[in-house]
Amino acid sequence: MIVEALYFILPAYMANMAPLILGKLNAPLGVPINKKALGANKTWRGLYAGYLGALLVLAIQFWLGKMGYFDEYLMIDLSAANIFAYAIPFGIGAIVGDAAKSFVKRRLKIKPGAPFFPFDQIDFIIGVYIFMLPVFVIPWQAALIVLIVTPVLHFLANVIAYAIGIKKVWW
């Protein structure tokens, strides 16, 4: 169940990382969506990057399934047509979850980049869960596993990104 839950959520993990990656590549539309409400770091580039990141992982999972690999770990039916649709709850849901957390941080007067535990670690997962509801109900065991494991993975990813110079802070 742990492997199945993590394999399921991989598109969201990539959606959460994609804005940082495309930002480093200076992809277009790096302008804030609404600087006052969400801060300067929530950009249009981040929105499409989240979708594209989720789509990339879903396409790889689809291809691996067609090749006969990891098919038993898929909780959703991936076909060539619906990977584009599933990229919405995974990609856009992840980005909207992160933006919602930023909105709350602004209201609480927490500075951009300042830690906001545990929401910094699970905001995108909650966004995915909410956006996924109309199309797929995630088994509660898988949802719980992801909520427990994600903060640990998030911390490790941030430490690695900081160590290699991608992030300015380790959290």
Residue spans of the domains in the chain: they are: 2-163
Residue 171 clears pLDDT 80, i.e. is over it: no
Average pLDDT of 65-91?
86
Q: Higher model confidence: residue 158 or residue 99?
A: 99
Question: 32: helix, coil or strand?
Answer: strand
Model confidence over 95-132: pLDDT tens digits? 999 999 999 999 999 988 788 989 989 999 999 999 99
Of the listed ranges 38-47, 74-83, 153-162, the one predicted with least confidence: 74-83
User: Which residues lie below 8 Å from residue 115, measured CB to CB, with a gap of 6+?
Assistant: 171
Question: CA–CA distance from 68 to each of 8, 10, 71, 73, 146 (Å)?
Answer: 16, 18, 6, 11, 25
Residue 75 clears pLDDT 90, i.e. is over it: no
Residue 71 clears pLDDT 80, i.e. is over it: no
The percentage of the chain sitting over the pLDDT mark of 70, rounded to a whole number, equals 100
- Residue 102 · residue 38 · CB < 8 Å: yes
Backbone angles phi, psi at 43, to 5 degrees: -115, 165
Average pLDDT of 39-53?
94
What's CA 101's distance to the chain center, in Å? 13
